[in-house]
Amino acid sequence: MRQTIKAKHQRCLSELNEAVNAFLAFSENLTLLTSAHVRTQQIAQAVEGLQQILRQNLVANKLVKAVAESDAAALLDEIVDADTISELEAEVLAAAGGIENSEMMQFLTEIMDKAERKYNCLLEKAHAYNALLKG
């Protein structure tokens, strides 16, 4: 049974880590996406912290307890409740306030749509992991 619980955690964290890395690669060095990039780096740190707990080879009940009580799990829970995309949209709209070029506005809209899709994928994986912790 220990292996099954550990395997579930490893699978969920691996999927979350893939989504995190995809967003980090997308948002790297994009000034207007800095806040979401930083938030995603925090998620990456939380995932690493949880993976470190999994590497301790604890028995099932101790593993679940250690993960659930970890700062990394609390951080992950807190971060997924934040409305990062709305904050990002507000920042981009503020920065684009004076732009009247329709092509530039279309470009910014496309970038925001892509950022939102990638971040929502990340959130979906984080919510799945949080559900595993609570289930």
Please report, for residues 4, 75, 93, 97, the alpha-carbon distance to residue 79 in angstroms, rounded to integers and kept in the order given: 27, 6, 23, 28
**Rounded Cα–Cα distance for residues 7 and 74 (Å):** 21
DSSP state of 56: T
Residues of the chain with pLDDT under 50: 1-2
pTM score, whole prediction: 0.89
DSSP state of 33: G
55-89 pLDDT, tens per residue? 998 888 898 899 999 999 999 988 888 888 889 88
Instruction: Check residue 110 and give its pLDDT.
Output: 94
Instruction: Check residue 25 and give its pLDDT.
Output: 97
